[in-house]
Homo-oligomer: A and B are copies of this chain.
Amino acid sequence: MKERDVVVIGGSAAGLTAALTARRHYPSKRVLVVRREEQVLVPCGIPYIFGTLKDPEKNVMPDAPYEANNIELLKADVTELDRDKKLLHASAESVRYDRLVMATGSLPIMPPIPGFDIDGVFAIQKDIDYLRRLFERLQAAKDVVIIGGGFIGIEFADEIKKMGNANVTIVEMMPHCLSLAYDDEFCVEMEEVLASRGIAIKTAAKVEQIQGRDHVKSVLLSDGSEIMADAVILGIGAVANVDLAKKAGLRIGLTGGIAVDQTMLTSDPSVFACGDCAEKISFFGGRPSGLKLASIAQMEARIAGANLFGITRQNYGTVGVWSTCVGDFALGTAGLTEAMARQHGYDVVVATVEGPNRHPGGMPGMAQTKMKAVFEANSGVILGGQVRGDTATGEMINAVSAGVQKRMTVEDIATFQIGTHPALTASPVVYPLVNAAEVAISKMRGRV
């Protein structure tokens, strides 16, 4: 029987980061990661296997950090967790732990749609062999239907289109793609970009049935229309993988994740949880949050890993910061959209500004950046921002995220000290975030 100070179950973004953080904060402790997979995929990189990387092998997370950081790696499936004995069983091994971190991730949602188990219907399993089969299937596909127009759905659509020009259709239940993360005007822009790349989009469309006998043949919508399909991809989200946690009697939260407090401790004082398997609360009011992102997972893992033998960090709730792109057209979001803020009950003032990302506008690489910022009307605190722009959008949104996390006010932002450069950013005179704050101030004073 092995004995380890720290055992982490799971080796994706959360598990690896928790182990690295434990190593860093507790250099003398013996740290072991137990994971099921032979090779772990970069989770957000999965769509890019298809049209860009062209090989699942190129999307594998290197195992080098384990050896480099003196972290032991055991490739085995944990089948049982005995919390009384602080013992887990993984294949032929038994491991005793002092502190345990659950980082068991999530599983794709399988929808209650008749036909989802027909050959040719694929969920997005984080499994290299599964994705190899999907890759092969898609190489021969002529008609691909993607069910779900979230960021995974649209990224898959564009990547599959790049593979061999199949007919690609996104079917989305909501009125717009991406509507859980962006206000409509941003969603519409992305839909236009997808359409310009030859991708068909059916929004406000419900799938009635996936049809076919030996192989998938078509997708039937509730309006009676039928879309031909020799491959169907389900991209409708993920649920926390809590099988082991449940079996071990750990408390489960309202959204189905492992219940944790703000230190990432579960109902067992020796067991922490982080990442997609852990229950989340919102930064905005503390209600349960269904967001699952690798960046949230790593933040939680840094908290769990640091707190293992003495609490030093606290999770103030998920802000929700992420970006997506199709070609050079990128969208970024941090915090609440206008629609979400209103749903949360906030009285909001919003400001949208648009302008070139270079100065003067004739500089190479010029593209129009659009920024929408959402402020609480009375305090002026920024609740969120959305950016549409070029490939720098992914970094731009992180300055917005800083504002949200530090609860900067519209006045803080109006006098924010930005760095600008003709070849890299907008002009200081009209820098989007600062400019949006000034517009919001005018609106707050009822002057616009």
Which residues of chain A have a CB within 8 Å of any CB of chain B? 13, 16-17, 20-21, 24-25, 27, 42, 44-45, 48, 52-53, 58-61, 283, 294-299, 302-303, 306, 312-313, 315, 318-319, 321-325, 330, 332-334, 359-360, 362-365, 391-399, 401-403, 405-406, 408, 411, 414-425, 427-429, 431, 434, 438, 441-442, 447
Q: Are A422 and B362 in contact (CB under 8 A)?
A: no
Q: Contact check: which of B24, B296, B395, B427 meets A42 at CB < 8 Å?
A: B427
* Contact between chains at A45 and B359 (CB < 8 Å): yes
Known: A53-B363, A411-B313, A438-B302. A406 touches B395 (CB 8 A): no
- Shortest Cβ-Cβ A-B pairs, 9 listed: A394-B424, A402-B402, A321-B419, A395-B395, A392-B392, A298-B428, A398-B399, A295-B428, A395-B396
Closest to A294 in B: B428
CB pair B416–A299 under 8 Å, yes or no, is yes
Q: Which residues of B lie under 8 Å from residue A52 when comparing CB positions? A: 363-364, 423
The count of identical subunits is 2
**CB–CB B398/A324 < 8 A:** no
The smallest beta-carbon distance between A299 and chain B, in angstroms, is: 5
A selection of 5 A-B contacts at a CB cut-off of 8 Å is A13-B428, A24-B438, A42-B422, A298-B429, A395-B395
Residues of B within 8 A of A59 (CB): 360, 362
Q: Is there an interface contact between B421 and A321, defined as CB atoms closer than 8 Å?
A: no
Name the B residues within 8 Å of A411 (CB-CB): 312-313
Partner of A295, one of B42, B330, B418: B418
Question: In the complex the two chains form, is B398's CB within 8 Å of A48's CB?
Answer: no
Q: Nearest Cβ in chain B — how far from A316, in angstroms? A: 8
Q: Which of B48, B299, B425, B447 is within 8 Å of A422, CB to CB?
A: B48
- B406 and A295 contacting across the interface, CB-CB below 8 Å: no
Check if B360 sits within 8 Å of A423, measured CB to CB. Answer: no
| Besides the known contacts A45-B359, A283-B417, A402-B408, 16 further A-B residue pairs in the complex with CB atoms under 8 A apart | A24-B441, A42-B360, A44-B359, A45-B363, A48-B423, A295-B417, A295-B418, A296-B417, A313-B411, A322-B419, A323-B424, A391-B424, A394-B419, A395-B424, A402-B406, A406-B408
A297 and B44 contact, CB distance less than 8 A: no
Q: Once bound together, how far apart are the Cα atoms of A152 and B244, in whole Å? A: 61
Q: Which residues of B contact A401 (CB under 8 A)?
A: 399, 416-419
What separation, in Å, do the CA atoms of A334 and B419 have in the docked complex?
Answer: 8
Contact indicator A299/B394 (Cβ below 8 Å): no
Contact status of A425 and B395, CB under 8 A, knowing A45-B360, A360-B59, A363-B52: yes
By a CB distance below 8 angstroms, the chain B residues around A360 are 42, 45, 53, 58-61
State in angstroms the CA–CA spacing of A101 and B273 once bound together. 57
Question: A299-B416, A392-B391 are contacts. A421–B323 as well, Cβ < 8 Å?
Answer: yes
Please, which residues of chain B bring their CB within 8 A of the CB of A61?
A: 360
CA distance A385 to B313 in the complex (A): 23
